[in-house]
Each structure stands twice: as structure tokens, then as C-alpha cells.
Amino acid sequence: MNAGMVSAVMTADPITVSTKTPFKDIAELLTGNGISAVGVLDKTGALVGVVSEADLLPHLWEDRRPRWRDRRLARKATACVAKDLMTSPAVTIDAEATLAAAAAEFARTGVRRLFVLRAGKVAGVLSRRDLVAVFTRGDAELEREITDRVRDRLNLGPDRVRVQVRAGVVMVVGRVERRSDIDPVTRLIHELSGVVEVRNRLDYVWNDVA
């Protein structure tokens, strides 16, 4: 599994409900499992929406039908089943999408979580915290993975390229044959989760870049 993909950091098999699941059952699922939202599936198993804590709170309003409130929220204040409580459509991302793509989607939509799909079906859920957690990887672990990938994918062993990681910042030193060999090293390292910055100090024997 690619550590830079959504599937590597998502929570697999998230809790879901049907469109007919009652309000109280949803509230119990959220509180009992320590989660903030559940996906809503139709009869075919397709994700049609999400019910979050925010969708349940309108039931606490003193006036269940306030004219000044958004009509959509006002409907939630009297809704009794998932179909009427849910926010739709759900914001989703593919399981094989990169973490960079997930971060961009979080920024674009402002949501707290993305439901993860594989072949159109719910495979997991990804939170913003899941993305932040990738930066807690140990330097030694990250250094080993980078060294192995540079060797295996670019055929550049430690005798040519040396890697050092401190606080997630990757320093790359050494000497490659061609100048055009330098950028692929940087790109390969940037793909890995947990990398904060890449400082490429590679030198080259001859310049093949016009």
C-alpha cells in the first residue's frame, strides 16, 4: 500500500446507516462510538449523504420552525430519520487519491471529513487529523523508506545519493551522472507522507539540460 495514498491513512469500514435509520439511533451511534458523523446509504449501498452532529443540533432549538432560519436547517429541526437529517451530497474522495489531493479537497470544501470510495462504494473515512498525523512519522523510519525508494526506483544507491532526515526535513546530498537525474529524486521524496521539506543538494557530472 502506498503511504502517500488516502487508503493508507483512512479509517476503514466506517459506520453507516440507511436512509430510514431513526434520529435517536443515529445519536446513539455518534456518542457511543465517539465519532462526529455517519454516512447514509441507499438500498443499493451507494452513499447518498452524511449525518453529522451539526445535523442533529437543530432539534434543540426552542422554536422548531423559526422563519428567520435557513429552510434546510429548519427542516432538520423536525426530521426524524436519516433521509431528512442528512446533508447531501456527501463530499468524497477516491481511495487511491494522493494525500495532497485530499488536503486540497479539505481546503476547497471546508468539511471536517471526506468519505472514501473504492469502485463507487464506501471504503473508509478520512479526517483532517488523519492527514496531520502523517507528519508524526519518525525520522529514522522516513529516512529508511526514502533511501530504499531512491535505490529501487531510480537505481541510486547510498554510494551515489545519501539521505538525512531531521524533524521531517529531508537533506539529499551526493553526485548523479546527469543534471536531469536531480529533479526526479525531489519528486519521489515529495510523494511520501511525513515529508515536511526537501533540500536537494545533489551535484552532477554533466549538464544535459538545455
What is the CA angle 68-74-79, rounded to 5?
165
Enclosing H/E stretch for 164: strand 161-166
47-80 pLDDT, tens digit each: 999 999 999 998 887 665 655 556 667 788 889 9
Residue 203 pLDDT > 70, yes or no?
Answer: yes
Cell numbers given for 108: 476547497
pLDDT of residue 193: 84
Q: Is the pTM of this model over 0.85?
A: no
pLDDT of residue 209: 83
Residues contacting residue 109 through CB under 8 Å, at least 6 positions apart:
91
Q: Are strands 113-118 and 92-94 parallel, antiparallel or unpaired?
A: parallel
CA 42 – CA 23 distance, rounded (Å): 16
158-171 pLDDT, tens digit each: 999 999 999 999 99
Contacts of residues 155-160 at CB distance under 8 Å and 24 or more positions apart, as own/partner, are 156/181, 156/185
CA 39 – CA 144 distance, rounded (Å): 38
Output the CA–CA distances (angstroms, integers) from residue 140 to 25, 147, 164, in the order listed.
45, 11, 9
pLDDT of residue 192: 87
The secondary structure of residue 137, as a DSSP letter, is S
